[in-house]
Amino acid sequence: MVRIGYTMMTEQAGPRELVSHVVGAERAGFDFSVISDHSFPWLESQGHAPYAWSVLGAAAQATSRIPLMTYVTCPTFRYHPAVVAQKAATMQILSEGRFRLGLGSGEHLNEHIVGAGWPAAHVRLEKLEEAADIIRRMFTGENVSHHGAHFDVENARLWDLPDEPPPIGIAVSGPRSCELAGRYGDLVIATEPKRELLELFDAHGGAGKPRVGQLPVCYDTDRDAAVARAHDQFRWALGGWKVNSELPGPAGFEQASQHTWPEDVAGSIPCGDDVDAFVEAVRPYAEAGFSEVALVQIGGDMQELFLEWAEAKLLPALRNL
């Protein structure tokens, strides 16, 4: 049975609302939760970008059961890997063992703010590998000094360690990231239901480890309203990873998606309140071998209604996958 998760999407709601939403997701019976880690929204119509780690700390105190996870944090530009290790260890303590650290190579949209440039994809993956190694070493509690190709760490140590370190997830989109995930990850993260990604992950040491996907959905009793909202706030998602990782700001996503029409979005994102359509959208992930799928309800002001509907109708139907 695929575990179904809830996404706190920082691009579409403020910090207090996000905490309230994850409390509602726990109450509704979602199996886990994830949170995006952005400094910018994809489109200005989304309108938010609070600091994910403050939201996570508040969520850890406001909930008691639901697991929490970054989906995903880039530990190589805005954040130094030694700082990410400290944040993650503290979150694991605050949540009493409910935290997982999802890592990725980042998007220009978020990482440009520190003025460090945006190198080629292979360099970003080199940096991610080096960062993952530093974080793993710091989770042991040892004093860490490191002078590598991309990072320096001088006599760093985590003084507050959880009983068990947070599991590390690595986001993948191609062969090189799958190799990295297999070697450094306790789980794999992907946003498309591609079986070949999981097979590559397994080939490099990932066999038997959790694999977590994500799917945008747009619930509304008025399907036309759902399609309009999905187009307004989520049409950027149809651009694909190679485009989405490179654009530097919302204006770029506006330009890149100007010829994406509502019917295009409706063909990729389940919209409305037809439970069967939502189940069929999740099914490819189950068939590809994903063990977990986090849903993204589009529209910050539609979370409470979505959670009520999910508890009553959607989650019971998804339990049969």
pLDDT at position 242 is 83
Is the pLDDT at 98 greater than 90? The verdict is yes
> Contact at 8 Å (CB) between 101 and 128?
no
Contact 184, 137 (CB under 8 A): no
User: Which of these is catalytic: 17, 107, 111, 179?
Assistant: 107
Between CA 321 and CA 318 the distance in angstroms is 6
Judged by DSSP in three states, 116 sits in coil
235 falls in which pLDDT band (50, 70, 90)?
A: very high
The helix/strand/coil state of 29 is coil
Q: Which pair of tokens denotes residue 292?
A: 């977990």
320 pLDDT exceeds 90? no
pLDDT tens figures, 169-196 = 999 999 999 999 999 999 999 999 999 9
pTM for this predicted structure: 0.97
Q: Which residues lie below 8 Å from residue 50, measured CB to CB, with a gap of 6+?
A: 10, 14, 15, 18
- What is the per-residue pLDDT for 292? 98
pLDDT band, residue 241 (cuts 50/70/90): confident
Contacts of 241 (CB under 8 A, 6+ apart): 173, 191
Catalytic residue among 38, 108, 112, 231: 38
For the chain, give the percent of residues with pLDDT over 70.
100
In the block, which residue shows the tokens 């320096």?
152
Over residues 263-308, the pLDDT tens digits come to 999 999 999 999 999 999 999 999 999 999 999 999 999 999 999 9
The pLDDT tens digits of the residues spanning 113-165 come to 999 999 999 999 999 999 999 999 999 999 999 999 999 999 999 999 999 99
Cα 198 vs. chain centroid, distance in angstroms? Answer: 17
The pLDDT value recorded for residue 124 is 98
Q: Report the alpha-carbon angle 125-128-130, nearest 5.
A: 110
Whole-number pLDDT of residue 321: 85
The C-alpha atoms of residue 168 and residue 78 are separated, in whole angstroms, by 19
Q: State whether residue 5 is helix, strand or coil.
A: strand
Instruction: Give the CB-side neighbour count of residue 54, counting CA atoms within 13 A.
Output: 9
What does the pLDDT read at residue 94?
98
Please check the confidence at residue 209 and state whether its pLDDT lies above 90.
Answer: yes
Is 304 catalytic? The answer is no
Q: Mean of the pLDDT values across residues 6-13?
A: 98
CA distances to 104, 134, 191, 224, 250 from 42, rounded to whole Å, are 17, 30, 16, 22, 5
State residue 95's pLDDT score. Answer: 98
Model confidence at 240, pLDDT cuts 50, 70, 90, reads confident
Q: Is 38 a catalytic residue?
A: yes
C-alpha span between 59 and 149 (Å, rounded):
36
**CA dihedral sign, ordered 10, 297, 168, 198:** negative
